[in-house]
Amino acid sequence: MRTVPLGRTGEQVSQLALGCMLMGTSTGEAESFEMLDRYVGAGGAFLDTADCYAWWPGPPATGGESESLLGRWFARTGRRDDVFLATKGGAWVADPAAVLAGRTTAAEQYAGAGGDTLRHALDASLTRLGVDHVDLYYVHVDDLRTPLEEALEVLAGLVAAGKTRYLGWSNVQTWRLERIRQLCARHGWPAPVALQQEHSYLRKHPGADSLSVVDDEQLRYLRAHDDLTLVAYSPLLKGAYDDPAKRAGHHVMHSYAGADTDARLATVAKLAADLGVTNGQLVLAWLLHQRDPRRVALIGPRTLQQYEAAPPALDLHLDADLLATLDAAGA
């Protein structure tokens, strides 16, 4: 399992991270444990979860199930110290039933990044996980309602208290990220070392209104600031590369639809067929080959079969000509 630097912290983290979003709900306990055992047994050591995972499968799930399952796995295996553990706060949804019924949206219910909210959220996460600290704590969704100074001062306190070693931010625009960094420098607060955003081989179309998808501007920003590591979530776009039905009907494609995406999908399909691999494996290998900036690929498999399809991408070598062909594809 290859590793990449986490900013300038001196930490090396697994380049292929395992997202535990659906563990304990859509993925049952036995299958989740098997997935975790196989990942760590293969040398993987970067686990990602959040306090809100996962309310959307519906009752009786309300959030917290993923963290609780990881807590049981740590208790069973004693492997807490063998992994780099990340969780998130701020996107807790108080009334999942109302969201599922269409009476409100998840965004309207997000707990946000208020000081008391973050303090209580991390304490609750640590309890569910059965640990005294996490290695990385993200603000899950940028909160424009809360003064950044309030959130950053509290986060600094959480680091000082030993409840998290490092901080990250997710689903955030570049201008906000720069403001966060300026405030941290001014006040001597610990700055984020990880940026978790949706990122894949496909490129967001110019009219897409999404704060979560990395665009060219954000990549340029990351190239200029190597103290931030990009953790790319949904690199496989929920299986859309290998499933035309998902490309046609899944909301994950809304930010990408257009001629550029059609051309890149066609290129991936041709090259993957030539190599004898799946489209998804080629896309994942492309991401793992990126050096400027380096990226962590965060997969979130629902089944053991989906998990087993990912590690072969680590061994897939793409030469310079093939990478150039992939990069040049597009309308």
Which of these, 6, 15, 119, 106, lies nearest to 56 by C-alpha position? Answer: 106
What amino acid positions are annotated as catalytic residues? 53
Tell me how crowded residue 236 is: count the other CB atoms within 10 A of its CB. 26
Query: Which 8-state DSSP code applies to residue 135?
Result: E
Dist. CA 55–CA 317, nearest whole Å: 38
Tell me how crowded residue 195 is: count the other CB atoms within 10 A of its CB. 26
DSSP secondary structure string for all residues of 236-298 = TGGGTTT-HHHHHH-GGGTTT-SHHHHHHHHHHHHHHHHHTS-HHHHHHHHHHT-BTTBEEEE
Torsion, CA 21, CA 283, CA 167, CA 228, rounded to 10: -170
Which of these, 291, 296, 327, 309, lies nearest to 232 by C-alpha position? Answer: 296
DSSP secondary structure string for all residues of 163-214 = SEEEEEEES--HHHHHHHHHHHHHHTPPPP-EEEEE--SS---TT---SSB-
The backbone torsions φ and ψ at residue 318, rounded to the nearest 5 degrees and listed phi first, read -110, 120
Q: Taking the CA atoms of the chain, what radius of gyration do you get in angstroms?
A: 19
Q: Which residue has the tokens 């965004």?
A: 107
